[in-house]
Structure 1
């Protein structure tokens, strides 16, 4: 659906580039990469008299197949698919096209990578880092964040969505809304309960404003905490504790699940705790435990 008679690939890409910069705030490097990927697609289409305004799934799969034959890495192919998906979603929203064929375009899978898992000692070191220095509001929030992420193994999105009414301190359980808007009840430990109560009693009120939501965790301006701030706080604590630079809130979820399995927890119970719809998803943690066992064996067994 062309809205302008002179609309062509270069004009559309220029408009899309401005969208990336002004509306989405993408970096110059990301803009350059995405537009370069889309020009590659444009050149592929032009060889058969096609253009970006008349895409369909068959053409996109043909383009992807042609790149596979050149030996491009799966990582590069995934980036190019991401660029196309972003572009076609924008084009449909802007009325440049009347469909979004990239929603059904499969992204190449990369090699399976095991998640970052902290040892129990490292986890305690991360908590110690949160407790360093003078007690203040941010410190109370940090301690509660780490304790609850590790103590309940919930996702960072689930943590950010928690309201005060979602916590039952008597039974020590949380009501969380997971993927697919599926609600489940998750237990948490005494250490997490104490940290959460301290935050609610002595910290949260300092950040509350008249427009604050009933969220358990607030940011300094009184709004519901977002995933970006949680990630930033975990990264800051990881640096203090000398932990991996790419440690994330999800790493605490991975660590909690792995530590439970290493201590004899039933796999299906861990599946239910994590909110996985498939047991196969949970089984990655058994692989993590095996890899950790192999590493310990290799470093400690005299005949390894």
Structure 2
């Protein structure tokens, strides 16, 4: 252990914040590593200044530690020195002067077009059987068709009132984040699937397009997650890869891949800032890079030279 101050800090994390044992072990290792670095410079862990901390972070970067791990170590040091300042051990928090390493934004996960088709095909059921199991697949089919056809958030989908399908309109009025409303198109297949569900559920008298166990309330997110899990198994896909947001990402990625305008996609997704929508251009750029490296003869030759 790196000293009494570190022990007191870890005790505080356990007592006041309820930190998990694994978290405490990770913080103890981080503090021990920094203490070793500090001793090499003739300093105590509680007496570090900003220059010593910068040198430590630079050392971590030179050793090839990932930016995410570097950021976690810096977070530990910031919390530790804040604790020391609050306890009156030192007058300041020198770690506040350091910036965390820039983390690359993770690219959205999405399905291939054939995988989406497999999910939809897996929802096929006897719609006239009237059994609870048949209704489950009606719900699955309608929800998946609408999520993929319109790029809806799951919260937007489950909040849709049954009257949203009134008439023959081919558009849906959706209330999104911040109460902002937008209009999204509804494909013929999605409308047919939703209408089949409405017809089946008519005796329930629910005001919602996707009623829950209590027809007075909509289906919950957790309830839909269980349905999606079952659909994934039936389709032969790993349920861990599936979520409503993955379907939304798939909608956006496939739209761009087929030539959709970025500004139009922003409107469809309900993004307030087009910078949020631009993440999908990075997805396509990464797919192009992978295709180039996999199939271009010069790329393969370069790879072979580097590994030789």
Query: TM (normalized to structure 2)?
Result: 0.62
- Aligned residue pairs, count: 259
Provide the secondary structure at the position in 1 that maps to 2:241. coil
1:252 is displaced (CA, Å) by 1.5
Query: Are 2:126 and 1:129 equivalent residues in the alignment?
Result: no
For 2:179 and 2:187, the matched residues in 1 are separated by 24
Structure 2 residue corresponding to 1:32, chosen from 18, 21, 37: 21
Report the Cα offset of residue 83 of structure 1.
Answer: 9.2
Whether 1:164 and 2:161 are equivalent positions in the alignment is: yes
User: How far did residue 219 of structure 1 move?
Assistant: 3.5
- The 5 A counterparts of 1:11-26 are 12-16=12-16
| Aligned match of 1:241 | 235
Q: What's the offset of the Cα at 1:293?
A: 5.7
Which of 46, 53, 59 is 1:48 aligned to? Answer: 46
Structure 1 residues without counterparts, runs of 5 or longer: 1-7, 21-30, 51-57, 88-101, 209-213
Residues in 2 aligned to 1:33 and 1:169: alpha-carbon distance in whole angstroms:
54
Provide structure 2 residue ranges, at least 5 long, that are not aligned to the other structure: 1-7, 36-43, 80-95, 301-308
Please identify which structure carries the higher helix content.
2
Q: Which residue of 2 aligns with 1:53?
A: none
Partner of 1:115: 109
Specify whether residues 111 and 280 from structure 1 end up closer, same or farther in structure 2 by C-alpha distance, changes over 3 A only: closer
Q: How does 1:1-304 map to 2 (within 5 A)?
A: 9=9, 12-16=12-16, 31-39=20-28, 47-48=45-46, 65=57, 72-76=65-69, 108-110=102-104, 112-119=106-113, 121-132=114-125, 136-160=134-158, 162-164=159-161, 167-170=164-167, 171=169, 172-178=171-177, 180-203=178-201, 214-220=207-213, 223-244=217-238, 245-290=240-285, 292=287
Rounded Cα–Cα distance in structure 1 between residues aligned with 2:218 and 2:281: 35
CA contact (8 A) 2:125 2:134 kept: no
Query: Which digits, 9 at most, give the CA deviation of each residue in 1:194-246, with x for residues without a partner?
Result: 222222331476596xxxxx543344355433333333432332232123541
- Whole-Å separation in 2 of the counterparts to 1:164 and 1:84: 50
What is the alpha-carbon distance in structure 2 between the residues aligned to residue 79 and residue 189 of structure 1? 46
Cα separation, 2, equivalents of 1:117 and 1:82 = 34
Query: Is the 2:162–2:198 Cα contact (8 Å) retained in structure 1?
Result: no
Q: Which has the larger Rg?
A: 2
Q: Note the aligned Cα RMSD (angstroms).
A: 4.7
SS at match of 2:182: strand
